[in-house]
Amino acid sequence: MLAFVDRRTREPGSSDELKAAEVSLAAPAHGSFLTALHLAPVVSGCFSDSALVSAMKLGRTKCTALVTKALGPAFRDELLKDMTASRAEMITHAYVRYVDDRTCAVVSTTDIKDFAPKDTEDFPVTPLLPPKGKRETRKAEILNIIKRKKSALANDADEPVRKKLRAAEDTIAELERKLEKKEEIAELAALNKGLQRAVIARAGCQNSAGSVDPNRKAAKRLPLREGASGGDLGAINLLNRSLFGKPALASQVAPGKTHLTPKKVEVLRDCYMERLKRKGTLPGSELFDLAVKNVNGYIIQKLADNEKMAKRYAE
Percent of the chain with pLDDT over 70: 36
Give the C-alpha separation, 124 to 113, whole Å.
26
Q: What is the mean pLDDT of residues 261-289?
A: 75
Q: Per-residue confidence at 60, pLDDT binned at 50, 70, 90?
A: low
pLDDT of residue 235: 55
CA distance readout (Å), 280 to 11, 231, 312: 148, 18, 43
Domain spans, the chain: 2-143, 213-279, 283-315
pTM of the complete model: 0.20
Q: What is the mean pLDDT of residues 168-175?
A: 88
Burial class from Cβ neighbours inside 10 Å (0-12, 13-18, 19+) for residue 117 reads buried
Give the C-alpha separation, 29 to 76, whole Å.
19
Specify the higher pLDDT residue, 308 or 206. 308
**pLDDT tens for each residue of 124-151:** 444 444 444 444 445 555 555 656 666 6
**pLDDT tens for each residue of 278-310:** 776 666 677 777 777 887 888 888 888 888 888
Specify the higher pLDDT residue, 210 or 61. 61
Specify the higher pLDDT residue, 176 or 50. 176
Specify the higher pLDDT residue, 155 or 294. 294
